[in-house]
């Protein structure tokens, strides 16, 4: 009888130890899940910040035409994702377009040359100081390499007044966002 009591005691202690180990494991797992979720959120935030960093030099800054041409070249691999819109004095009869996003409204894209990508949008919304490319899911469409090269050559040709980007000219720049506040492009407008 003493042997049965000893076995029962060992079984009881084993069950209690098993329950304790499982409880500790579950609590550690739930704590680690919270930590991993927080880490994933931080990594996502850092990743988004790094992706947007290449656009920061164009966020409300004055740049030279040389920087505009450089942006067209460097973003050419992002066709269908990024659009670069450029308004030169030649494309606007010598008038400059203001890129000061004050209030709410629209800015027409009719005087802007499109580089890297195309869009069917005819205007950008101005909301809370941001230029918003809104509409359907297909905001931008890809341009072929040949079309991109032709547009870039036209931008460098001083005989094409409406498309020529003077490398020493001054341009105001602003970022273009989609409805989810993801950067979708850059606006450039030449200054007098």
pLDDT tens digits for range 25-46:
888 887 788 878 888 888 877 7
Using CB atoms within 10 A of its CB, is residue 125 exposed (0-12), middle (13-18) or buried (19+)? middle
Q: Tell me which DSSP letter residue 105 carries.
A: E
Nearest-angstrom CA–CA distance, 141 and 78? 11
Mean pLDDT of 81-109: 83
Two tokens, residue 92: 């606007």
pLDDT, tens digit, 9 for 90 and up, residues 56-74? 889 889 999 999 999 999 8
Residue 61: C-alpha distances to residues 58, 172, 189, 190 (Å) = 5, 6, 11, 12
Is the Cβ–Cβ distance between 148 and 133 less than 8 Å? no
Q: Supply angle C-alpha 86, 91, 94, rounded to 5.
A: 115
């Amino acid at each position: 009888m003493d042997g049965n009591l000893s076995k029962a005691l060992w079984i009881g202690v084993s069950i209690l130890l098993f329950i304790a180990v499982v409880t500790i494991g579950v609590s550690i797992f739930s704590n680690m899940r919270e930590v991993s979720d927080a880490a994933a959120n931080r990594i996502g935030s850092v990743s988004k910040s790094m992706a947007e960093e290449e656009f920061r030099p164009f966020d409300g800054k004055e740049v030279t035409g040389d920087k505009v041409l450089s942006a067209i070249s460097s973003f050419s691999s992002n066709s269908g994702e990024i659009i670069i819109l450029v308004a030169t004095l030649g494309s606007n009869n010598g008038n400059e377009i203001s890129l000061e996003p004050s209030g709410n409204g629209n800015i027409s894209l009719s005087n802007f040359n499109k580089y890297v990508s195309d869009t069917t949008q005819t205007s950008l919304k101005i909301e809370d100081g941001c230029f918003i490319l809104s509409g359907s899911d297909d905001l931008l469409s890809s341009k072929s390499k040949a079309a991109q090269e032709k547009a870039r050559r036209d931008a460098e040709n001083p005989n094409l007044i409406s498309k020529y980007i003077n490398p020493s000219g001054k341009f105001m720049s602003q970022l273009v966002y989609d409805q989810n506040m993801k950067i979708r492009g850059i606006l450039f407008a030449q200054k007098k």
